[in-house]
Chains A and B, each alone.
Chain A
Amino acid sequence: MANRTIEVEIKAKAGQAKEAFRAFGLSLTDLKSGLDLAMGAARTAQQALKAVYDTAREPMAISSAKEAVQLCLALAGSIGLWSGMAQIAQQSGLTALLASAIRPIIGPLFPELGPRSKSMPLIAASMAANLLGLGAAATPLGLAAMQQLAAESRSGAEPTDAMCTFIIITASSLTLVPTTIISLRAETGSADPAAVIGATILATSCSTAAAVAVDFILRKRGRRN
């Protein structure tokens, strides 16, 4: 008899508990899904921690440094090839020919380079390569021009006026045909990939003109001091 009363009591208590849950708008299934949710959150947190740990093993700084060396290695082949070609062009008088053709245009930009300067042919060749969209050839020619400029001036720790002008013109980009952009536009399904040529020439002329003008002013100020 006693067992039966206990049983009834337990049932009553369970009923009360259920009602209590219901009062809070909860049921046992809610409790279960709540637990699942908590477990899921714990698992996500664990994954996030693992991701943080993985990135900490190879931080951005180190992957960037690796990228820089990979780029240098990727550049080595084309720099080697085009430096060799530039040497032949220089020895055979091809770059001098090019320089005398371009000198009337770029000569005034480099007033301190005399007519005998060996830098001018290299500067001209580098600019010509950039204009034709040959970045791979323009870089070694530009670096050769920098070395020639350095040899002619013994500038020490500071770049000379001519170096600054040359770098600024190169950095503001000289392009007649933006080939990489045209092929990217063709790849993404453009109806007219080359439609941007005219606008690009106009825009890059503005950036180069602004660069040359500001460089001209800053050079003068630097000389006065």
Chain B
Amino acid sequence: MFEATPQALRRRRQERIATSVLAAMTFATVVPLFAILGYLLVKAWPSLSISFLIEPPRDLQTHGGIWPALVGTIYLVTVSLAAAAPVGVLAAVWLNEYARDNWFTRTVNLAVINLAGVPSIVHALFGLGAFVLAAGLGQSVLAASLTLAVMTLPVIIASTREALAAVPWAFREACWNVGATRWQTIRAVVLPNAISGVLTGVILQVSRAAGESAPILFTGAVMYKAVEKGDLLPYGLNESVMALATHLYNLVTQINGAPESLQFATATVLVGVVLLVNSTAIVLRVVLRTRRKW
């Protein structure tokens, strides 16, 4: 009754080939991640411990832990987020909800896109010139954080706009039709429904900022700061800091006599911080998605 024609056989073969190629490519994307994680963990194993996390380095950084760098990274990220998130999110709201399509808006859009494409080392030089020297902040948490903020700002704007644009236009029109202002509409309907996308975008920038070394290299990161074990507030805003990414760079290139596992343990912690932040974003997204309202 249903005889397999040559065309049907060919289609079936094509379908099988397409499916396997696509699946193989998808698999290929996850292989590097697990390979990196496995390699890091194996190499780092001898040095990994809780005390490695909470102790300061000893013996010219050839032994001991990474607490000052860990807490320094957390500081930098928090301060940069405090600067970039409000500015980025509010600017995105204006661009997406208020701005008319004119030369000014188009220029701003172009600037945001290009800012996102500027290499991080250029941000570093800008931060050195603008924050460290011109603004007189010196090499400090504040200067480094602001540099990171400038770097993450355009991506926060872009991801926030995307989240806002995902809220159906009909909701806005329905609100305007009953005499609501733009701001009432944004507060009641647009923001509450875009918030998961907004937060995810912001948090993903946190992990990016945590992993960057170039922008903080000239603007606030130093090779060594004396910090007590487990000290939660070791740095002032006007002080220079240690950070995980630059600490790793120093361990590998500048410091002689440290065991190899120490370098890998530092790398593991850095990757761990980034993965932790990313999974927070994923969990948040899932939780807020299940409360999706349409």
Specify whether A and B are partners: no
